[in-house]
Amino acid sequence: MAIFSSSWELPLVAVCQVTSTPDKQQNFKTCAELVREAARLGACLAFLPEAFDFVARDPAETLRLSEPLDGNLLGGYTQLARECGLWLSLGGFHERGQDWEQTQKIYNCHVLLDNKGSVVATYRKTHLCDVEIPGQGPMRESNSTIPGPSLESPVSTPAGKIGLAICYDMRFPELSLALAQAGAEILTYPSAFGSVTGPAHWEVLLRARAIETQCYVVAAAQCGRHHEKRASYGHSMVVDPWGTVVARCSEGPGLCLARIDLSYLRQLRQQLPVFQHRRPDLYGSLGHPRS
């Protein structure tokens, strides 16, 4: 299906792709350069991937490098958002929460900053990636991380109403449907997909989430080799509500741009009103069985 509007007047978003390492200072420098480039190109909102702050070698290093939301690192991004005058989706911050002293574990926290640097929303990843994929190595996110307790209501931004999620969450369509039914127009899945699951599932899952919710999907991704123990797939992209990939990053660190056409989204939802046709009387709501 064709996109009928590509006017320069539509809001422009930037999707940033990076290769984070355990070096937090260098990671910030890399991300800040991309955010400044996004602002120079006219974006109103820039998306950074999961683990934009760092990718550690092991759980102990993850815990050692983590910070609270009011720490120095988020302070730097607050200043950056103000300086550049654009919103920032910080896609997966290793957060020492208020229960840090008791648990000695962290949250994987998606932070949304407005163009004045204020925190307008936080979402703590609810589905933790504890998997064993042959050829990719085991992943035990729960060794260092606590699952978040709830979803975050979609947030109004200059690009549209954004529903916050993180990486592995994309495998659970109930979450995306809940956000869409709560009013989301853009779903965002900042990620660090592996080299085996990436080629097999990355684009398929993102396009499926866009089609079933009739939302734009924005997925900023880690890419390349972070250190001797880990590498990520990359292929950051934006998918429109019809399921078409409208922007995609090339190999390596960089950014891609896309315009968000909410009139197109509304037109599509009117022409194909799937949410009006749902039958919760038959199969329950959002995947929950009927009582």
CA separation for the pair 78, 166 (Å, rounded): 21
Among residues 50, 95, 152, 185, the one annotated as catalytic is 50
In a domain, 100, yes or no: yes
CA angle 29, 62, 155 (to 5 degrees): 65
CA separation for the pair 114, 158 (Å, rounded): 9
Active site residue 50: yes
- pLDDT score for 9: 87
- End-to-end distance of the chain based on CA atoms, in angstroms? 39
Over residues 209-232, the mean pLDDT reads 93
Q: Tell me the pLDDT of the chain averaged across its residues.
A: 93
Contact indicator for 24, 48 with CB cutoff of 8 Å: no
- pLDDT score for 7: 63
Among residues 24, 105, 125, 161, the one annotated as catalytic is 125
Reply yes or no on whether the pLDDT at 271 is more than 70: yes
CATH number of the domain that residue 145 is part of:
3.60.110.10
Reply yes or no on whether the pLDDT at 137 is more than 80: no
Active site residue 132: no
- pLDDT score for 211: 98
Percent of the chain beyond pLDDT 70? 95
CA-based nearest residue to 249, from 29, 24, 21, 37: 37
Over residues 274-287, the mean pLDDT reads 85
Band (pLDDT 50/70/90 cuts) for residue 291 is: very low
Sheet of strand 45-48, all strands in order from the earlier edge strand to the far edge: 119-124, 107-113, 87-95, 45-48, 12-17, 254-259
CA angle 73, 74, 76 (to 5 degrees): 65
Band (pLDDT 50/70/90 cuts) for residue 134 is: confident
- pLDDT score for 216: 98
Among residues 167, 215, 223, 249, the one annotated as catalytic is 167
Band (pLDDT 50/70/90 cuts) for residue 288 is: low
In a domain, 97, yes or no: yes
How much is the pTM?
0.94
Reply yes or no on whether the pLDDT at 1 is more than 50: no
Cβ partners under 8 Å of residue 109, min gap 6: 69, 92, 93, 94, 95, 122, 123, 124, 125, 148
CA separation for the pair 110, 167 (Å, rounded): 11
In a domain, 286, yes or no: no
Q: Return the C-alpha torsion angle 56, 209, 196, 52, nearest 10.
A: -20
In a domain, 287, yes or no: no
Active site residue 167: yes
In a domain, 157, yes or no: yes
Contact indicator for 75, 45 with CB cutoff of 8 Å: no
pLDDT digits (tens, 9 = 90+) for 146-164: 999 999 999 999 999 999 9
- pLDDT score for 5: 42
In a domain, 5, yes or no: no
Q: Which domain holds residue 157?
A: 12-274
In a domain, 219, yes or no: yes
The total number of structural domains that make up the chain: 1
Over residues 61-69, the mean pLDDT reads 96
In a domain, 281, yes or no: no
Of residues 140 and 184, the one with the higher pLDDT is 184
Q: Mean pLDDT lowest for which of 65-74, 127-136, 186-195? A: 127-136
Over residues 51-75, the mean pLDDT reads 95
